[in-house]
Every structure is written in structure tokens, then in C-alpha cells.
Amino acid sequence: MAKIIAGVGTSHTPAIGAAVDNGRTDQPYWVPLFKGYEPSKKWMAETKPDVAIIVYNDHVNAFDFKIIPTFAIGCADVFPIADEGWGPRPVPPVKGYPELASHLVQSLVLDEFDITICNEMQLDHGLTVPMTLMWGQPQEWPVRVIPLAVNVIQYPAPTGNRCYNLGKAIKKAVESWDEDLRVVIFGTGGMSHQIQGPRAGLINKEFDEAFLDGLTQDPERLAKIPPIEYMREAGAEAIELVMWLVMRGALGDNVREVYRFYHVPASSTAVGNIILEAV
């Protein structure tokens, strides 16, 4: 049986990818951030999962404003890297797992989550920056990936509760796949940030820390936070945090917090990272 063994929460700030791609990780601005991710990278190198389900958001690259699925799963063999305006990031293409991805779609749709099937899909910083943070700059990614895109760009975004329940349905779907696979699930984006308008630069450390505490201790409380509260309290783009609840829902009731890191700022965002093992 396949099993979700752990969850990773991490921000996806595009400037982090640019720092790595342009060899700037040893600049004073970036040193604390990359140092803070070292334990997670080490954990990942030791854990060696077979598959990563990466819950992320596209930023008008795979999808434009013509079509915006609320939840979409990438079922391709391989996913190219999106050109976000300055050329694709110099990272390897992402290897998919079409059979398992299709099984997830089938199980989730039968569980009444209406998933959009993507047989072709380009991946932007929302997915590649978390991979870089956890795996560095390999010639080839050491894991197969199932991208799960969530719309947090165009109103209305799904609620945290819907995302949490989607995570529970993902756990059930993975456990009904008859192959011994060790799966990790990522919740990405956040933490507090607002990148436009008069409140640009807004950071709410208390909100972020309470969110990290809640992931470990009381996810049911987090699931009740309405979308407007993320935006009001922690900035318009903090709504990305609902994706961390998909990850948490997929881990089951009991988790062990293995590592946590919080840092301000990276570009306009507060950066958070948490590793939770399912127990």
C-alpha cells in the first residue's frame, strides 16, 4: 500500500529561486534563509520519498484568466518549466506519475471533489521554488511529482475547510493504491504577505506563528478560519496558506513536528517552513 509519511509546509517566494539560480545564496540578505532550510534539506535527503504530491498555486502561467480551475491535478509524464517573463528557471523538468495521478483524480471525484484533469501543464515558481528549497539544484529531481494546483489567485478561493477535507480524501486515495510507495505531501505558499496596494509589505508574525502552532496542535481551529480573515489579518496573498491545510488534512489526526523555521523577509513575504511526520 502507498502511504503518506510526512508533510512539508513551505513558502514559494520567487526571489528565493532567483537567488539560487543566480548564485546569490551567500549574500548577507539570503544567508539566514538558506541556513534555516538546511535541516529540512537534510531530512529530505535522508527520507528519500518515492513520490511528492505538491499542493501549490499557479500564478497565471499554466492557466490564464480564461480558465481557472479551483483544484487541478497534473497527470502528465513530464512537466516543463514555465517561462514567467525572464525565461524558464534553469531547473530540470518535473517527472510526473500519470498512473497514480489518474487514480487520485478518480478517487477524489468519486469522493465528490471536482478535480480538473491536466494532461499538459507548465509549472511555475509556486512549485519549483519549494522543490529547490528541499532538494537543491540536482541534475535530475530525485522524486516523481503529482502537482495539485489550487486557485488562490482569482476570487473566490476555496475555504480552508474545503482544503482540509480535500487533504483527508487524498489520504484515503493514496492508501487505496496497491504499491509500496512512500509519499510526502507539500503545502506551499504564504506565509503573511501582501504584494500590491496601500498595504503592500504587510507581515503579521503573530498570525503566522499561531498558524504554525495550529498545524501541529489544532488543525480543526485553522480549518474554521474564513478566507477573508487570512486576507484581512495577514495580507491578500496570505490566502495561499489554505494550501497548507490540504497537506495537514492528508496526514491524519496525529503528527510529530520534526522541524520549524520562520524568517522575515524574503522579498515581500514572511517565510515559513514546517516538517510534520504522520504517526
- Cα gap 236→197, rounded to integer Å: 10
* 103 noted as active-site residue: no
Cβ neighbours, 10 Å, residue 23:
8
Taking the least distance from each CB to ligand DHB, the nearer of 32 and 138 is 32
Set of cell numbers at residue 172: 484515503
Contacts to ligand DHB by CB under 6 A: 12-15, 59, 193, 195, 237, 267-269
Q: Which residues, 6 or more positions from 92, have their beta carbon under 8 angstroms from its beta carbon?
A: 138, 139, 140, 141
Taking the least distance from each CB to ligand DHB, the nearer of 89 and 193 is 193
Cβ neighbours, 10 Å, residue 126:
27
Taking the least distance from each CB to ligand DHB, the nearer of 97 and 244 is 244
Helices (H) and strands (E) in the chain, counts: 9, 10
Please tell me which residue in 12, 59, 103, 193 is annotated as part of the active site: 193
CB of 126 to ligand DHB, least distance (A): 7
H/E segment holding residue 128: helix 125-135
3 state SS of 25: coil
Give how far the C-alpha of residue 228 lies from the chain's centroid of Cα atoms, to the nearest Å.
20
Cβ neighbours, 10 Å, residue 101:
26
* 59 noted as active-site residue: no
CB of 267 to ligand DHB, least distance (A): 3
Taking the least distance from each CB to ligand DHB, the nearer of 193 and 248 is 193
Set of cell numbers at residue 151: 486557485
CB of 269 to ligand DHB, least distance (A): 4
- Cα gap 136→170, rounded to integer Å: 27
Q: What are phi and psi of 232, to 5 degrees?
A: -65, -45
Taking the least distance from each CB to ligand DHB, the nearer of 23 and 85 is 85
Catalytic residues: 125, 193
